[in-house]
A = this chain, B = another copy of it.
Amino acid sequence: MNTAASLKFSDIQVSQVYQFKRTVSEQDVMGFAKLTGDFNPLHLDRDFAKKSPFKKNIVHGMLAAGLFSTLVGMYCPGEKGLYVSQTVKFRSPLYPGEEVTVRGTVTDKNESIRLITLKTEVLREEKIVINGEAKVQLTGDENG
């Protein structure tokens, strides 16, 4: 999906679920390292990772958490959203090449400030890799 959704505040209901699947590759890990400057060897050095608790190179947690940006920016709410905050808990390692589901579940709508709260999760075979909470304000008028 390359076109952002454009949900209105009134389109979004508590308990609705928005989700997509994604696989982060080794090249993506190198791309994130270059973008951010995080060249920590746990992500990039095979020999270093072998001696770590994870045994293999893992995806940067904040790259996987970057998929919450996609959830908010492309799926719910998309174009009309202003990202207010995100919490992120790194629960288990993600290895390059593993497919994940990125899922947002609407948990709250605050009408007065047009703010929605989403429970956000990165899941591998329904097991939590990362979880947290996103808060997003909706732009637009009273009718939207």
Contacts and interface: CB of A to CB of B under 8 A. Distances in A.
A63 B66 contact: yes
Dominant secondary structure at the A interface: mixed
Interface string A84-126: 1111111000000000000000000000000000000000000
What copy number does this chain have within its complex?
A: 2
Q: Chain A interface residue count: which class? A: 35 or more
A136 B139 CA distance: 35
A42 B20 CA distance: 21
Contacts of A66: 32, 35-36, 38, 60, 62-63, 66
Interface of A: 1-4, 20, 22, 28, 31-32, 34-43, 48, 52-53, 60-63, 65-70, 73-74, 78-79, 81-90, 139
